[in-house]
Amino acid sequence: MILTEFKPVEEILLKLKDEKNIFIIGCCGCPEGAKTGGKEVLTDMKDKLEKEGKNVTGILEIDFLCQKALIRSRIKPRLNEIKNADSALVFSCGLGVQAAAAVLNKICHPALNTITFGGITGMWQGTERCDTCGDCILDYTGGICPYSACPKKLENGACAGQSNGKCETDPERDCGWELIYNSLKKIGRLDILNKFIPPRDYSKILPSAELRKTRLWALDEEEMV
């Protein structure tokens, strides 16, 4: 199971500061186990956003948000709700946020931080990679993780090592920032790249004591027989 925890509501509201219409999308896989997903969580966020004067264009739960084919089939009847939204707020691990961003063609704000893969991966079957950094910034990078797509983990743009869109570490590896640029260009949001991203907070990669007490981790330690 992939363990996630909530981003502080203040951080989410800051992300949505300049946006009015929000589409909420959540994964029913791992987040339900980690209690960071499910109907209650999503409707609770809807209420919070509406209290802040936002308009929630729709809520959608998908069994495994890390599966792009599944997302495509489930959003078909809901395209208007998505089109009417300025952005999507995604309750899932980093893989789900990346998969949603690849399909929705909208800025996908992560509502959760991904802490650890906890030994078992979810249903992930695509090209997305999550670095479980605990400090998700996928909405600033067009739904492509700079920590897993760029070997140097650069947050403010490409280095000078790329050549023909490929990485200096491997001529067959795409430059992560080339992908980020093209992804943001596709949705007309290159303006986001002007924002200075401060250094990542590495203290967040350590799961908190509270998280280590979750049911799954506790069961792991319990003497049954």
Partner 1 sequence: MEESEKTTVEESKFEKALKSGKFAVTSELGPPKGADIEEIKEAAEILRDVADGINVTDLQSSVMRLGSLATCHFLKEWGLDPIFQVTCRDRNRLALQSDLISAYVMGIRNVLALTGDYTTTGDHPQAEPVFDLDSVQLLWAIKTLEEGKDLAGNDLTQKPSFFKGAVVNPGADTEASYELQIIKMKKKISQGAQFFQTQAIFDAEVFKRFMERIRKEHIDIPILAGIILLKSEKMANYMNKFVPGVFVPEPIVKKMEATEDKVSMCIEIASNLIDEVKPYCAGVHIQALGWEKHIPAVVKDLK
Binding to partner 1 in span 85-114, by CB under 8 A: none
**Nearest distance in Å: CB 153, partner 1:** 5
List the beta strands (DSSP E) in 79-184. Answer: 87-91, 107-110, 112-116, 166-167, 170-174
Count, in order, helices (H) and strands (E) of the chain.
10, 8
Residue 215 touches partner 1, criterion: CB under 8 A: no
- Please work out the total of residues on this chain that contact partner 1, with binding judged by CB under 8 A: 31
* Strands 170-174 and 166-167, sheet pairing: antiparallel
**Nearest distance in Å: CB 62, partner 1:** 30
**Nearest distance in Å: CB 51, partner 1:** 32
Query: With respect to partner 1, which residue has the nearer C-beta, 123 or 205?
Result: 205
Residue 177 touches partner 1, criterion: CB under 8 A: yes
Interface stretch with partner 1, choices 63-71, 73-81, 113-121, 163-171 (CB under 8 A):
163-171
Three-state SS annotation for 15-66: HCCCCCEEEEEEECCHHHHCCCCCHHHHHHHHHHHHHCCCEEEEEEEECCCC
CB 144 within 8 A of CB 176: yes
Residue 158 touches partner 1, criterion: CB under 8 A: yes
Residue 140 touches partner 1, criterion: CB under 8 A: no
Residue 157 touches partner 1, criterion: CB under 8 A: yes
The whole-angstrom separation of Cα 145 and Cα 161 is 19
- Report the SS3 class of residue 200: coil
**Nearest distance in Å: CB 129, partner 1:** 16
Residue 161 touches partner 1, criterion: CB under 8 A: yes
Block residue for tokens 């956003």: 49
Residue 203 touches partner 1, criterion: CB under 8 A: no
Residue 159 touches partner 1, criterion: CB under 8 A: yes
Closest among 31, 217, 49, 7 to 123, alpha carbons compared: 31
Residue 185 touches partner 1, criterion: CB under 8 A: yes
Residue 182 touches partner 1, criterion: CB under 8 A: yes
**Interface positions with partner 1 (CB under 8 A):** 151-165, 168-169, 175, 177-178, 181-182, 185, 190, 193-194, 196-199, 202
